[in-house]
Structure 1
């Protein structure tokens, strides 16, 4: 390889203090980039805390491909040499190890053979993983301080919170759920509400109560993978209903109700996972009318419902007599806050579902529930929601500006992005190409109830910090700008 050398402009117009010189090497170029970072740290040319040039700037200066630099930075981060900081850039770690680290791959003839992998440093926050659908992290110091203060207050009752609690939630916790759901335009009474250990736990209980093995349930043709997994565990058949830009087609649902009566309709009506479709108010009413006519229960998974401002009211507000409503907080406050509020149509359902929950999860974690109750009561939860909504909107704007193709279907407040692939690309080859660059996505097969699955993928915009997300999106756009044959990772 020829010698590569670059001098980089900084964001304020001065020459960047680091001059990267990559001498001839038989190693892959991205490994050479990581090596020169390590070498320059060792000899003092890169000081702890030094800011590295942006990936695109470095690629232009060295006259190499953008994805090469992106993989070089990922390799350096894997070795513990550098770190990304939200909204600031990429920096040399203050206490980075300079012990030589085996590269992730070594050239052998014309092939590239994976090398033994050293342990990943626990401090690495993200490896460009756009597969897990979780909200962006909170990084506002004042809000973080407020969150920590609430956690400290909860800790004052630590001894009591380490004991068994009332099944279905204590009265103050159920009232917190009532208050939280009121913000969604859903008036409920606390005696019809159960506090559960997350949406998955609540969904498991509802499906187990409504259907027995061999029964049918309906869902979107592209639906939440957790629903598919639970249905398989419970021995239920899932019938996928076609959708348009307004969600499930009512005529298709009515036809199934006439010919293959289901026990329930499951839907994720607001910012649907994976497509981000939001059922219109008219479509919600039409589905409710059909379900009521045929005596079919509706299971409304409103995981993302709090994110949009001024969106349609929950289906449970239209039909409280037939809708089992699940309002989880993990997608709108923090993925580790495994709390969901389950609202049931009738009082008898409380006892039925309480027995199921007691047998499967015993109870929601008292510490976690107490923290949710505290944050809802003092307004911290609303502030977290507003921050996540604002950051999600910003990341959608970034994605729309980077990714190619027609106007996306994704809604502004969603932190996931549904990407139909251009002609020539298959979802499997696209995922394999990105996997070769250590970038994780989810292909449509994970969501598809019917076959064949569409040529599309879901990207999560919240799992990494903003700079890492931007870099991953640029890598995806660059990959899609080339014919699949040129991007293939297969030998």
Structure 2
């Protein structure tokens, strides 16, 4: 907030009559939030500056900020000031544009692996019945391809069944179909307060309501979720419990068990997005194992093999639920690509997929170590196998997450501000950094060194831009 905004506040206060000044100031803050003048994490003028500019006594300005805090508009940190907290969470369809900067997978620069991928793909293509693959296919994949998908699923779900397994054209399109089928009018989708941005975009497109649930360092909190269930409006629960995007947190077994128990008691369907699970090191049991009668489990190849391979594997709670979602999935995506299905099946069959995952994990660990060398490790949340990390900014940082992310992107560092993931309009002071994509380990080292310097010395950047 700059000097001109402070002067505007003073003019507005002069035109206020019959209302206590402390309430008028809180009302002005609320109006500026609603109009978009003030955004989450914007810093408010110090109390003394506001008192001097407005001619009010210091006690009145203290009371004004206290009123704003009471309304949930701002938060204050001793020694660093007061900041906009954001609008209270509202159960309304989200609108507007969304930050969809992709979390690009690491591309291991291993010539023998690249040749292995090519040779495997060429082998299956040479054996294809070309015209058969150019025809419409039954949704869910051919029998042979579904059997390979089932073998992949059984790595996480030992009891997975063929008749409950479907091949879909990517996790995102699968989420579109599931949300269409499960969230009926008047119902909401429960999500964590930080979530994969695609969920926000899908909900906005479909006119759906998201119900944000508070989270801690282990993921979604149980009591707020149960309170939401008691209201009777929850249509489904969406979770990304393993190497969560954006925080990289893998939810503990105990938290999973308690959340699953609540879902079972209230018969709430669970959409389990396990996109990163094959990159994780011995993750806890999936929700689909803890609550198989409720869970729609999704995994795929985009985060462990490449986003250009739009192949997802869906395991439904049962035959009846399979038929229920088929219509929605078919309506939104028609079918998966037979070419892609066959190639992916071959990569699973001959071990190429496993070799790729091992290479990604090795490179991920090396790049994460580089990041830890350059950044304050106390402020990093990260996971071996992931290709993104969650960086919490110091409370007294001169950077806002939006400004920092934009500046880092100008330096070719893949950064996204926390607001892109926030569902409760109260984004934390943090950004997501991705170290995947078509860059080498040395390029990542150079970029993160520059990024660390910018984060640590923001005044140098601001000085150079004025």
TM range, smaller chain: 0.7 to 0.9
Is residue 418–residue 428 contact of structure 2 (8 Å, CA) maintained in 1? Answer: yes
State the alpha-carbon separation in 1 of the partners of residues 184 and 206 from structure 2. Answer: 7
| TM-score under structure 1 length normalisation | 0.71
State the alpha-carbon separation in 2 of the partners of residues 176 and 160 from structure 1. Answer: 19
Cα deviation, residue 352, structure 1: 2.2
Partner of 1:468: 443
Is residue 305–residue 353 contact of structure 2 (8 Å, CA) maintained in 1? Answer: yes
2:170 aligns with one of 191, 198, 202: 198
State the alpha-carbon separation in 2 of the partners of residues 243 and 310 from structure 1. Answer: 23
User: What whole-Å deviation, never above 9, does each CA across 1:65-120 have from its counterpart, x for those lacking one?
Assistant: xxxxxxxxxxxxxxxxxxxxxxxxxxxxxxxxxxxxxxxxxxxxxxxxxxxxxxxx
Cα deviation, residue 190, structure 1: 1.0
2:365 aligns with one of 393, 396, 405: 393
Partner of 2:115: 145
Partner of 1:69: none
2:430 aligns with one of 418, 442, 456: 456
Mapped pair 1:172 → 2:126 = no
User: What whole-Å deviation, never above 9, does each CA across 1:130-172 have from its counterpart, x for those lacking one?
Assistant: 9531211132222222211111012121443222222211111
Is residue 184–residue 235 contact of structure 2 (8 Å, CA) maintained in 1? Answer: no
138 and 164 in structure 1: CA distance in 2 versus 1, 3 angstrom threshold: farther
User: What whole-Å deviation, never above 9, does each CA across 1:313-366 have from its counterpart, x for those lacking one?
Assistant: 211011110001011210011111110011111212222222222221111111
365 and 283 in structure 1: CA distance in 2 versus 1, 3 angstrom threshold: same
Cα deviation, residue 251, structure 1: 1.2
State the alpha-carbon separation in 2 of the partners of residues 435 and 378 from structure 1. Answer: 39
Is residue 196–residue 341 contact of structure 1 (8 Å, CA) maintained in 2? Answer: yes
366 and 403 in structure 1: CA distance in 2 versus 1, 3 angstrom threshold: same
State the alpha-carbon separation in 1 of the partners of residues 269 and 375 from structure 2. Answer: 39
Is residue 306–residue 332 contact of structure 1 (8 Å, CA) maintained in 2? Answer: yes
Residue aligned with 2:227, SS: helix
Alignment of 1:341-356 (within 5 A): 341-356=313-328
488 and 362 in structure 1: CA distance in 2 versus 1, 3 angstrom threshold: farther
Is residue 413–residue 448 contact of structure 2 (8 Å, CA) maintained in 1? Answer: no
Residue aligned with 1:136, SS: coil
Is residue 288–residue 297 contact of structure 2 (8 Å, CA) maintained in 1? Answer: yes
State the alpha-carbon separation in 2 of the partners of residues 408 and 356 from structure 1. Answer: 40
Cα deviation, residue 432, structure 1: 3.4
Residue aligned with 1:406, SS: helix
Is residue 218–residue 266 contact of structure 1 (8 Å, CA) maintained in 2? Answer: yes
Partner of 1:12: none
Cα deviation, residue 453, structure 1: 1.1
| TM-score under structure 2 length normalisation | 0.74
State the alpha-carbon separation in 2 of the partners of residues 490 and 241 from structure 1. Answer: 39
Partner of 2:17: none
State the alpha-carbon separation in 1 of the partners of residues 329 and 382 from structure 2. Answer: 35
249 and 484 in structure 1: CA distance in 2 versus 1, 3 angstrom threshold: farther
Partner of 2:35: none
Mapped pair 1:426 → 2:426 = no
2:311 aligns with one of 333, 339, 353: 339
1:477 aligns with one of 431, 452, 462: 452
> Can you give the 5+ residue segments of structure 2 that lack an aligned partner in the other structure?
1-99
